[in-house]
Amino acid sequence: MSLELFDLKGKIALVTGSTHGLGMSMAMGLGKAGATLVVNGNSSQQKIDKAIKEYGREGIKAFGYKFNVTDEVQVIEAIDKIQKEVGPIDILVNNAGIIKRTPLEEMEVADFRQVIDIDLVSPFIVSKHVVKSMIVRKQGKIINICSMMSELGRDSVGAYAAAKGGLKMLTKNMATEWAKHNIQTNGIGPGYFATSQTAPIRVGGHPFNDFIINRTPAAKWGDPDELMGAAIFLASKASDFVNGHILYVDGGILATIGKPSNE
Ligand code: GCO
Ligand code: CA
């Protein structure tokens, strides 16, 4: 009975960057809770088709749309098509993002701008165009995928931290402007998860692997499936009075200063 609060049957969810990684895990969660998925990627149609099959194997209805989230013209065209072909978007997850690991003093300005463009400007562009029909329909859920780097710095990820810190505040501003239309905007801040994005700093005996296990009270990397619950909560009726909140799913990292590595 109380599970009805989390039921997403009849809802349409657009998850950007949902062909792999955390985007795919969160989309799987929404799909398993009953939502129809709109899968997005920008690298190849083949990757999208492969993802659609993976969702299908889980019994999830999914439609694929290839577009570049940083290109406003493409975004407008895609959203228009999605709303005509699949239906009005009830849930938007702004997940597409990149990271570049370069010390700030060595980073090219163009690379810095690209990270800001994909990780911060694109959630604005996609939301701007999805929210219009949410405002008319007086309902909607927007979830921005933030990061530990929305709160903390780390060597070599300055552009990413600037973007994710900005995305946290963009989330609060979206909530400020759109809550009156019964649209809930919130963020999810994943801690350190075992994905392809973290593979370069996690596998092959990289010292960062031990560091993260030591730094995380739960003493492990997150399993991508452990993000599903947060996504379902923030996409469902269960969170209808939750606005501008960043839900960190981090095994306790932000709760603690950490401990010496020999303990
Ligand atoms: C890094 C990581 C980030 C984190 C994540 C933490 O280099 O610090 O790879 O991508 O995994 O964003 O929330
Ligand atoms: Ca899995």
Measuring CA to CA, which residue among 242, 221, 214, 216 is closest to residue 230?
242
Given 55, 65, 160, 248, which residue is catalytic?
Answer: 160
Please give the distance, rounded to the nearest whole angstrom, from the Cα atom of residue 214 to the centre of ligand 2: 23
Share of the chain above pLDDT 90, in %: 98
The answer to the question of residue 190 being in a domain is yes
The pLDDT value given to residue 106: 98
Mind listing the pLDDT tens digit for each residue in 73-106? 999 999 999 999 999 999 999 999 999 999 999 9
pTM summary value = 0.97
The domain in which residue 166 lies consists of 3-194+221-249
CA–CA separation, 21 and 30 (whole Å): 15
| Mean of all residue pLDDT scores within the chain | 97
The answer to the question of residue 13 being in a domain is yes
Closest ligand to 26 CA?
2
Task: State the pLDDT confidence band at 261, using cuts at 50, 70 and 90.
Answer: confident
The pLDDT value given to residue 1: 56
The answer to the question of residue 160 being in a domain is yes
Say whether 160 is catalytic. Answer: yes
Secondary element (H or E) of residue 36? strand 36-41
Complex ipTM value: 0.87
User: Is the pLDDT confidence value at 262 over 90?
Assistant: no
The answer to the question of residue 209 being in a domain is no
Reading the block at residue 122, the tokens are 């694109």
Residue 68: CATH number of its domain: 3.40.50.720
User: Is the pLDDT confidence value at 135 over 90?
Assistant: yes
CA–CA separation, 60 and 260 (whole Å): 45
Please name the residue whose Cα sits nearest to atom 4 of ligand 1. 192
The answer to the question of residue 213 being in a domain is no
Closest ligand to 246 CA?
1
Place of tokens 């505040």: 169
Reading the block at residue 157, the tokens are 């990820």
